[in-house]
Amino acid sequence: MKVILKLLLFSLLLQNNLTAYARYSQLAQYLKVPESKVPDLLLKQKFLIEGNMKNSLAKLDSTLKELDRLAEEHNVTTIVLSKNYEKNNIEIRLNHNENNQAFIDSAKKFNPIIFNNKEFFDSGEKDFIPLKKKEVRFNSFDSSNPLALRPIEKKVHAQPRRIDIPMFAGEGVHTGYSKCSAGFWAIFNKNLLLTTAGHCKDHAVPDKKGIVSFYHLSWDRVGPPTRIDDDDYIGPMVLQDFKDGNDRGFILKNTQKIASPAIRVNDSDFEIYHILGSLDIDESYIGASVCISGVTSRVTCGKILEVGAESTAYRNGSTITHTDTIQTSIISKPGDCGSPAFIFNLDTLPTVFLIGILVAGYGNESSTVLPMKKLLQENQTLLTILNVDEVLF
């Protein structure tokens, strides 16, 4: 309910200012349509998004009723079933014991978020389970268990760091050897992880501890794009995952840079689009307009061509197969991999919805987007303008 109220508030505020939002000419340039066509195009996407959101809420209601029926069928006496609107899922809280195991096994087909009742009530929270408040920093992972991140020492610098530099989605990241684009920030146990394509770590030279560090490459950077500068330090890539057709990497924010839930769209004046949330894309979105923001191409747009696609990318003699992806007509360039892919909605300008990140481009033909459902893990949350105040920077 909290999320819905926030969305309504933002919708009202933005509708009041929509007449003053004179950026249709810029959107027309991005979307490659005449300026007069932009309102109609955005209106169609508004109906598409709202229709799918209504379907999503109806699915939540149906799943909740089915889980309630299963709980009664398996004689589960102590259980809490609730809707998590931010994650578009059902949360289940119950004791993980032998008596409830049959229900847990039956419920898994709905992919709910399952908590141990004992852990929940021991936390002292009545309505929800918050992110843990302890600060933990990571640098490496067990490839068989990507969540088994291990603590490391914080990077120490001799000189004070600049703390007023924001890091926007769409700007560049580099290791000193090659560049990619920043996808979006995610929250993980009060830590902030910057998402990009997993292959962006390839060919980088790790330090003596096996750590590959990433650096910020702003659009207005002066000088060599892969110059190492301590003021640009972001942190190490703590997870690189190619399993199940994935191509994702997470960079731990181990610096005082400001993590911004916004996408950079302009070179000269730091114009940005705020991230309002994410969308799960299905076949009903085929033909919809979609854009990316990357360090090489800046903002460029196209159409959604296919959903649930399989594609193969060839990089330096190796092959990466991406499965269950979104194929688009976007023309991308080297360095754009990792870029956020997003959709505009008429009622919520100048905010956008993310649908994934760019992981491959095919010349002047098409680009592949890895959808959000393959990017975020169960215990990770997209950083948006709705939850940014909950994060300790």
DSSP string over 98-163? HHHHHHHHHHGGG--EEEEHHHHHHTT-SS--PPP-S---EEEEETTEEEEEEE-PPP--SSPPP-
More confident position, 4 or 236: 236
Mean pLDDT lowest for which of 1-5, 150-154, 369-373? 150-154
- The pLDDT, as a whole number, for residue 8 is 46
**pLDDT(130) > 50:** no
pLDDT digits (tens, 9 = 90+) for 179-236: 999 999 999 887 899 999 999 988 788 888 888 999 999 887 755 666 777 788 999 9
Q: What is the DSSP secondary-structure string of 238-300?
A: EEEE-GGG--EEEEE--SSPEEEEEEE--SSS--EEEEEEE----GGGTT-EEEEEETTTEEE
| The pLDDT value given to residue 251 | 96
pLDDT of 171 higher than 80: yes
Are β-strands 318-328 and 298-315 bridged in parallel, bridged antiparallel, or unpaired? antiparallel
Look up residue 37 and give its DSSP letter.
G
Instruction: Decide if 241 contacts 200 (C-beta within 8 A).
Output: no
- Indicate if the pLDDT at residue 160 is higher than 50: no
**Average of pLDDT values for 168-177?**
92
Q: 10 Å Cβ neighbour count for 286? A: 14
Report the predicted TM-score, pTM, of the whole model to 2 decimal places: 0.70
What was the pLDDT predicted at 85?
Answer: 63
Element (H, E) at 237: strand 233-241
Write the pLDDT tens digit of every residue in 92-104. 888 888 889 999 9
Q: In residues, how long is the chain?
A: 393
Cβ density class 69-97: b for 16+ within 10 Å, e for less: ebbeebebeebebebebbbbbbbbbbbee
Spatial CB neighbours of 382, under 8 Å, sequence gap ≥ 6: 184, 185, 186, 187, 275, 277, 278, 354, 372, 376
Tokens of 83: 């809707």
Does residue 178 surpass a pLDDT of 50?
yes
Highest-confidence segment of 119-128, 270-279, 284-293, 360-369:
284-293
pLDDT tier at 87 (50, 70, 90 boundaries)? Answer: low
For the chain, give the mean pLDDT: 78
Binning pLDDT at 50, 70 and 90, where does residue 147 land?
very low
